[in-house]
Structure 1
Amino acid sequence: MTAAVKGIAALLRFRELMFLLVARDLKVRYKRSILGMLWTLLNPLLQMLVYTLVFSRIMRIGVPQFPVFLLAGLLPWTLISVSATSSALSLLNNQGLIRKIAVPQAVYPLSIVGSKLVDLAVSLVPLAVIAAALGRPPGSAWLLLVPAVVVATCFAAGLSLLFSSLTVFFRDVRHLIDILFQIWFYVTPIIYPHEFLEKLGSPLLRSVLSLNPATPIIRWFQMVVYEGRPPDLRTAALATISAAATLVLGFAVFQRLEDEHIHYF
């Protein structure tokens, strides 16, 4: 416990560095880009158009105002998946700084999570516009997006810390993460309603999929944005527990292995 407290205190002391790294990531990402930050908006919107065409027009899954439903799940999923995959190489990419500057190494993966959080915040603007245009305007329930974003960010941070540390020791982890998130995306109710999982014929498969730690987090966003109501207590509790457990696990593993990273660069 003492080591964990010291680790958190060290991160707080270097919070300004973390903010600088977030700004650096955003600046480098959009350097010499004509559209700049607009790509943050275009990426989920283009994905929305493709998925809407496939699942609403071709496969006809029957979800009213499908673009709103899709974006409600796609935006937090993007925060989680892109943070984890991008952070996997954060320690290796900054090994020169790690060798020269004595700062908590966790600032590197966490700064990437911070930059993706900025992307999510910006993307909420077109989401609100699209929701209003399709007859589901933002209401008071949208205020609960604040704790939902906090929960999703904690979940993303835990995964980022875990994968960034493991990638130092096992380079194959980076490639496995890509495969993991491709599969994880389709077993999470993002492009189809949660009720579809409950109608699966195999009880074993339903039981396995019910353990998906990302599902309650995504459902929180969908309930607030698409259904226009606060999340039920069970969903909020499961999402919070899932995020907290992932963050604690990721931080504990990272802190335990941090001193060994430099020997495997």
Structure 2
Amino acid sequence: MSNYIQNFLKYTPLLQELVSRDIKIKYRKSILGVFWTLLNPLFMMIILSVVFSTIFKFDVENFPVYVLSGQVIFNFFSESTTGAMGTIVDNGALIKKVYVPKYLFVISRIVSSVINLLASFTALIIVMLAMRVELHFTVLLSVIPLALIVLLSLGASLFLSAITVKFRDIMHLYGVFMTGLMYLTPVIYPMAILPDKVRTVVQINPITNILLMFRDVMFYNKVPSLTGLVIGGVEVCFFLALGTYVFYKSQDSFILNI
């Protein structure tokens, strides 16, 4: 284990350069630059709030904030995994030339997405203050669901990046999958409106538990329940173990398929 830690520390400067490169590429030639990280969730919040609170008449208190909180969690998972799944293929030229721990490319995308996550979280706090939503002390516990979604995304990203090297079609299908997953995650609707069978399917979705935990600490002054923490921990450990195993077993053949 110490060897892995020493190896990671050795390549930390490279990780910093990769994160910096990812951010620069994303906002290259953009006038507002990183400021778009704040604007994007706010614009989507406005659109979704108008559609679902006016047309579909979802009766949820502070619905715009409700929607934005769901976006913070789901959009991070979507952005980080979508960006990370192609990292090995995109960096094939570098991988062929020199030895680099290949997991660094995946981690760099996760870290750059975490920066956007913090910006989105800041936007959420600003909107809550603007709408005079009370901030409870439990907001400090938001670090728990945020850490869980980051680790869940890392596990999923390791898995996706490994299998994408051999099966490139996954990159094209993943967008469709994420669209379906969004509707199976309570981002824009309350769980109470769902029929029992549909609610069961939504609850199986690992993002759901984390999202509901995030809303509880942000709005409802609730400390995460032991059940929720155990479920979240088990789900995160499963995805991390699966992703690490598949990535480790596949990395030696990456160079043959890039």
TM-score, scaled relative to structure 1:
0.92
What is the distance in 2 between the residues matched to 1:118 and 1:185? 22
Q: How much does 1:201 deviate?
A: 4.8
What is the distance in 2 between the residues matched to 1:64 and 1:9? 50
Change (3 A) 1:18 1:135: same
Q: How much does 1:86 deviate?
A: 1.2
Letter in 1 for 2:65: V
What is the distance in 1 between the residues matched to 2:12 and 2:75? 24
Residue 163 of structure 1, aligned match among 157, 160, 163: 160
What is the distance in 2 between the residues matched to 1:9 and 1:249? 23
Is 1:139 the counterpart of 2:132 in the alignment? no
Correspondence 1:51-200 to 2 at 5 A: 51-197=48-194, 200=195
Q: How much does 1:194 deviate?
A: 2.4
What is the distance in 1 between the residues matched to 2:131 and 2:98? 51
Q: Does the 8 Å CA contact 2:77/2:153 hold for their aligned counterparts?
A: yes
Structure 1, unmatched stretches of 5+, are none
Correspondence 1:31-50 to 2 at 5 A: 31-50=28-47
Q: How much does 1:8 deviate?
A: 5.7
Correspondence 1:172-251 to 2 at 5 A: 172-197=169-194, 200-202=195-197, 205-251=198-244
Q: How much does 1:119 deviate?
A: 0.4
- 2:247 corresponds to: 254
Q: Does the 8 Å CA contact 1:7/1:255 hold for their aligned counterparts?
A: no
Q: Does the 8 Å CA contact 1:167/1:173 hold for their aligned counterparts?
A: yes
Q: Size of the alignment, in residue pairs?
A: 258
Q: How much does 1:147 deviate?
A: 2.1
Q: Does the 8 Å CA contact 1:83/1:116 hold for their aligned counterparts?
A: yes
Q: How much does 1:6 deviate?
A: 5.3
**Does the residue aligned with 1:61 lie in a helix, a strand or coil?**
coil
What is the distance in 2 between the residues matched to 1:234 and 1:34? 46
Point out the more displaced range, 228-237 or 9-18: 9-18
Runs of 4+ in 1 over 6 A off after TM superposition: none
**Does the residue aligned with 2:33 lie in a helix, a strand or coil?**
coil
What is the distance in 2 between the residues matched to 1:7 and 1:258? 16
Q: How much does 1:138 deviate?
A: 2.5
Point out the more displaced range, 237-246 or 83-92: 237-246
What is the distance in 2 between the residues matched to 1:77 and 1:41? 15
Aligned CA RMSD, in angstroms, stands at: 1.7
What is the distance in 2 between the residues matched to 1:179 and 1:141? 35
Identity rate of aligned residues, in percent? 33
**Does the residue aligned with 1:191 lie in a helix, a strand or coil?**
coil
Letter in 1 for 2:50: L
What is the distance in 2 between the residues matched to 1:102 and 1:237? 38
Q: How much does 1:241 deviate?
A: 1.8
Q: Does the 8 Å CA contact 2:203/2:209 hold for their aligned counterparts?
A: no
Q: Does the 8 Å CA contact 1:219/1:235 hold for their aligned counterparts?
A: no
